[in-house]
Structure 1
């Protein structure tokens, strides 16, 4: 593959031009783009089995149909990202069907099962809000033109998903028992979302996504964007989140109104079997978090197997049919 030089790439970006094809990219730009597109594609893909597991607990046919529509959207979003990777020269079939479960790159949250309808609608309100924030930032700022165009549709659909979750949460929280059930789900899912945005800015190793304008905002900034809408919504529904607002000091007021701070050790250890954060044990290192992410969670292998099963069975049947055809021909 022929890449452009860093100098030529910088000149193009400085002129405000977007990139359309691989030959307009440097090798580092391409690798940064591949990383973020792979995470996006894998995240959308793995949301499907995760959401379906809980959608079967829907309280009505209409609710189930709404959940399935969201799953269909997510698979469409995954296809968009995988197709973009294919246009960049990567094999879509290999990415989806040939990788091992631990090789997929997506938030740890989708390795923890959503076991109830309440957990599913909380995922719509929390997890899809994270997707809306992340992809919305890329939609507004990315220098990769094909992705910017594709995200017009994705942005609107992710907004629908989070509104679906909000509507159901408000409805369920009308009763005290319902509010308590939602709170239990929020208690373990909210810290998942805070991890979703990745390493703190001062610990990031790959900076090319920002320096090349593949995305526009840093991890910590995007965390704050999520909090700026997620916290007010949860509070309006009578739900509590372990955060507090810190107003800007007098010297900062021209740049910011303030920011949210977490009221628990971040990061901390998680017990997936109990769906419980071990906050009382204090803060752990980000290297420990990375080890957990790399090891994947309890549903990783099961969900990947479901995604890959049909393709592998079809390939096996086609191989058998081809062998039988060859045998028939050789005996004539």
Structure 2
């Protein structure tokens, strides 16, 4: 007969209060710790989406591995694709630990992706038809990811915060890789410079949407409020988007590029960038797998998953003695 601990004898409300006190004190929550259902589910959804987005995010750049203009560029983008896949695997392991109480694992995450229950980031539904796109993804898309992810480096959930330490360090190299491509194009011919402007025009709305809507009621979701409440992150979607503008708008303009939004300006009194809102209805359609490349990339991922089932089977614990 087991004896209940003092903590186990507490009511659910008392456990929740104790949990929030730990978070407020800056303690890290670990996988085996008690946590509210809302906290666990928020983490599962966030980390699963993040992990799957790292894997799906490798696909636009993977398309450029055989088409990169030089061997050096080919090696660089191959290394970046490999890193992104590694980030995905690391994050799915973190999510898997949280799913154990429900008897679920990474197989369930993949099936949720294929069925449409699990979404992946809006930017990775978009086409990358030119080498300018390959550079812009590394420069601005990964730049946006760094701003988002560094905001969670002190996340209350320890395993996620520790994973982000490694991921953010590698993402810095990815952004430098993209910036190197953009700078080479900017110093090239008029045609090469035009590639950057065309890519910026094509990716502008996706970059604005990257951080999600400003207000919870825009999509009927309060996810950002929940993540802030539990100290998974500290800034709102709009604060992160403003940070992105502050860091990258001067860099974009320094290359002689034109902002795709002619109304965009910095308001000194408010201390904010004023800009034209993207079409958030389009955003909802994209993340519902109705984007330009959604079906194609999902099918590619599913084929890869099915064709490599034998590897997972060979590595399963049941075959360790073979």
With normalisation by structure 1, the TM-score equals 0.81
**Taking structure 1 as reference, are residues 318 and 291 closer, same or farther at Cα in structure 2, changes over 3 Å only?**
closer
Which string of whole-angstrom CA distances, capped at 9 and with x for unpartnered residues, describes residues 18-44 of structure 1? 101253311111111112112211210
User: Residue 241 of structure 2 corresponds to which residue in structure 1?
Assistant: 223
Q: Aligned-pair distance for 1:114?
A: 0.8
User: Residue 190 of structure 2 corresponds to which residue in structure 1?
Assistant: 176
Which of 28, 31, 43 matches 2:41? 31
User: Residue 278 of structure 1 corresponds to which residue in structure 2?
Assistant: none
Measured in 1, the distance between the counterparts of 2:191 and 2:308 equals: 47
Q: Aligned-pair distance for 1:318?
A: 10
Measured in 1, the distance between the counterparts of 2:311 and 2:137 equals: 37
- Residue 138 of structure 2 contacts residue 175 of structure 2 at CA under 8 Å; is this kept in 1? yes
User: Residue 330 of structure 1 corresponds to which residue in structure 2?
Assistant: none
Q: Aligned-pair distance for 1:171?
A: 1.4
Q: Residue 143 in 1 paired to residue 156 in 2?
A: yes
Which string of whole-angstrom CA distances, capped at 9 and with x for unpartnered residues, describes residues 194-213 of structure 1? 10111113534222111000
User: Residue 144 of structure 2 corresponds to which residue in structure 1?
Assistant: 130
Measured in 1, the distance between the counterparts of 2:71 and 2:148 equals: 31
Measured in 2, the distance between the counterparts of 1:316 and 1:12 equals: 44
- Residue 54 of structure 1 contacts residue 119 of structure 1 at CA under 8 Å; is this kept in 2? no
User: Residue 206 of structure 2 corresponds to which residue in structure 1?
Assistant: 192
Q: How many residues align?
A: 290
Unaligned runs of 5+ in 1: 250-257, 269-285, 320-332
Q: Aligned-pair distance for 1:56?
A: 2.6
SS in 1 for 2:272: strand
**Taking structure 1 as reference, are residues 294 and 169 closer, same or farther at Cα in structure 2, changes over 3 Å only?**
same
Q: Aligned-pair distance for 1:177?
A: 2.3
Q: Residue 11 in 1 paired to residue 26 in 2?
A: no
- Residue 112 of structure 2 contacts residue 118 of structure 2 at CA under 8 Å; is this kept in 1? no
**Taking structure 1 as reference, are residues 181 and 78 closer, same or farther at Cα in structure 2, changes over 3 Å only?**
same
User: Residue 68 of structure 1 corresponds to which residue in structure 2?
Assistant: 78
**Taking structure 1 as reference, are residues 98 and 196 closer, same or farther at Cα in structure 2, changes over 3 Å only?**
closer
- Alignment RMSD: 2.3
Which string of whole-angstrom CA distances, capped at 9 and with x for unpartnered residues, describes residues 24-74 of structure 1? 311111111112112211210101112111333210111011001011111
**Taking structure 1 as reference, are residues 301 and 213 closer, same or farther at Cα in structure 2, changes over 3 Å only?**
same
Q: Residue 267 in 1 paired to residue 278 in 2?
A: yes
User: Residue 30 of structure 2 corresponds to which residue in structure 1?
Assistant: 20
Measured in 2, the distance between the counterparts of 1:49 and 1:38 equals: 17
Measured in 1, the distance between the counterparts of 2:163 and 2:157 equals: 11
- Residue 65 of structure 2 contacts residue 78 of structure 2 at CA under 8 Å; is this kept in 1? yes
Measured in 1, the distance between the counterparts of 2:243 and 2:281 equals: 25
Unaligned runs of 5+ in 2: 1-7, 314-322
Which of 34, 47, 71 matches 2:57? 47
Which of 68, 75, 87 matches 2:97? 87
Measured in 2, the distance between the counterparts of 1:213 and 1:267 equals: 28
User: Residue 324 of structure 1 corresponds to which residue in structure 2?
Assistant: none
**What does 1:240-255 align with in structure 2 at a 5 Å threshold?**
240-241=258-259, 242=261, 243-248=264-269
Measured in 2, the distance between the counterparts of 1:225 and 1:5 equals: 36
